């Protein structure tokens, strides 16, 4: 099968001055877009550290992890000591309290990162 590009006339190579001009134009356009996005991002109050969905996922994970660890430890303690269901109840409540504590701690850290001046710590 013959090469289709072999019959096409060769394109002239662009000179270096034309390439440098086009590169400078592209660089200026990119800088303008970056400045505009930085202004718009700052106006919306977004921080690059964590998005809203990221914060929600972290807080829910902190809470659920506390409950699961407390429940698992209570279940294991009950199986080992034969005190069913008291170990599960007590450690599940402790895990829930630990989950609340972790959420409050994580939310406080997130507030300080976003520059919130409300006085909440």
- Closest by CA position to 113, among listed 55, 53, 65: 55
Residue 101 CA to residue 7 CA, distance in Å, equals: 74
The whole domain housing 68 covers 52-114
Given this model, what pLDDT does residue 62 score? Answer: 92
In a domain, 1, yes or no: no
Give the predicted TM-score (pTM) of the model. 0.50
Given this model, what pLDDT does residue 7 score? Answer: 65
Residues 92 and 110 in one domain: yes
Taking residues 27-40, report their average pLDDT: 88
Given this model, what pLDDT does residue 38 score? Answer: 82
In a domain, 32, yes or no: yes
For the segment 67-106, what is each residue's pLDDT rounded down to a tens digit? 999 999 999 999 999 988 999 999 999 999 999 999 999 8
Residue 40 CA to residue 96 CA, distance in Å, equals: 40
Q: 46 to each of 40, 41, 51, 107, how far by Cα in Å? A: 9, 6, 7, 16
Residues 92 and 68 in one domain: yes
In a domain, 2, yes or no: no
Residue 92 CA to residue 71 CA, distance in Å, equals: 5
Residues 61 and 37 in one domain: no
């Amino acid at each position: 099968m013959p090469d289709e590009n072999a019959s096409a006339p060769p394109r002239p190579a662009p000179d270096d001055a034309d390439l440098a001009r086009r590169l400078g134009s592209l660089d200026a356009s990119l800088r303008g877009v970056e400045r505009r996005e930085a202004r718009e991002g700052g106006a919306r109050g977004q921080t690059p550290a964590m998005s809203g969905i990221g914060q929600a996922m972290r807080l829910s994970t902190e809470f659920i992890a506390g409950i699961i660890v407390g429940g698992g430890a209570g279940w294991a303690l009950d199986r080992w000591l034969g005190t069913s269901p008291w170990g599960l109840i007590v450690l599940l409540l402790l895990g829930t309290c630990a989950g609340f504590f972790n959420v409050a701690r994580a939310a406080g850290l997130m507030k300080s990162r976003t520059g919130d001046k409300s006085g909440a710590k």
